[in-house]
């Protein structure tokens, strides 16, 4: 199944003389990739066209992940922001709907072996050791749905806030799978039975992972910035369909 891409969910969320932040729809690549040669629309291109000037990529979101994406408007800003990302001085928050009732909070400290792509990484070293990877999480709410699957009549789900401390490829998706709470809609690391249930139930297919917050120091002004993005419409559809308990946590 391919992620349903809603290009009308593309939005400019913040802009000054040095930075621009957008909402990237699920299913949209950040930039051109040898993995998806057929794609013709990219977040970088759409941002450039929307503001009428070149932009520089600072970080990435998986194609299937929606949410907050930040670009620099000049090379000097890009270099300064790159240093902040490299030093882990930028705090990133995500929301995810996952299978099962996860613990109320925790830290996943599980090293990850670099995932090589046959095309994009064909010249990369094949024997890289696992890299340190740490993700903190907080459970915002839980839900239960009456639906027969296997030997269970009810299916349980959690809404999590995820705060990665490192930035490994597919880190959040792999870490949640590691603790047996895979993200719904994840065709690579998730549970296909629950993925198909959400597709049939809600009439849409997507990865229920959204980048919601970026907290950092402005590289030029020194201002403390906290940028936010509400999950897009398709994510909200699932949030509204699930009868959440502990709902006050949704406002955290």
Q: Of 62, 74, 109, 121, which residue is the catalytic one?
A: 62
Sorted by sequence, the CB contacts under 8 Å of residue 72 that are 6+ apart come out as: 18, 19, 55, 56, 58, 78, 81
CB 23 within 8 A of CB 234: no
Please tell me the distance from the alpha carbon of residue 1 to that of residue 32, in angstroms, as a whole number.
21
* Rounded alpha-carbon distances, angstroms, from residue 149 to 122, 166, 194: 40, 35, 9
The position carrying tokens 């993005």 is 229
DSSP H/E element including 14? strand 11-15
**Bridge-based pairing state of the strands 66-72 and 209-217:** parallel
Q: Is 62 a catalytic residue?
A: yes
Q: Which residues are catalytic?
A: 62
């Amino acid at each position: 199944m391919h992620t349903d891409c809603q290009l009308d969910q593309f939005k400019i969320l913040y802009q000054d003389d040095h930075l621009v932040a957008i909402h990237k729809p699920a299913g949209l690549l950040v930039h051109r990739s040898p993995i998806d040669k057929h794609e013709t629309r990219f977040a970088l291109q759409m941002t450039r066209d929307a503001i009428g000037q070149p932009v520089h990529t600072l970080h990435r979101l998986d194609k299937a992940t929606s949410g907050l994406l930040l670009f620099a408007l000049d090379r000097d800003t890009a270099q300064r922001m790159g240093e902040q990302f490299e030093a882990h001085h930028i705090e990133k928050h995500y929301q995810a709907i996952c299978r099962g009732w996860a613990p109320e909070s925790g830290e996943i400290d599980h090293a990850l072996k670099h995932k090589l792509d046959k095309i994009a990484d064909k010249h990369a070293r094949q024997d890289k050791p696992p890299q340190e990877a740490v993700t903190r999480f907080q459970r915002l709410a839980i839900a239960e749905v009456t639906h027969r699957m296997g030997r269970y009549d009810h299916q349980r789900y959690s809404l999590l806030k995820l705060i990665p401390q490192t930035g490994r490829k597919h880190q959040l998706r792999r870490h949640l799978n590691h603790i047996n709470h895979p993200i719904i809609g994840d065709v690579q690391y998730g549970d296909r039975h629950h993925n198909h249930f959400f597709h049939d139930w809600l009439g849409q297919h997507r990865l229920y992972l959204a980048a919601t917050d970026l907290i950092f120091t402005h590289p030029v002004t020194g201002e403390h910035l906290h940028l936010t993005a509400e999950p897009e419409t398709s994510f909200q559809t699932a949030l509204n369909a699930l009868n959440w308990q502990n709902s006050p946590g949704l406002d955290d």
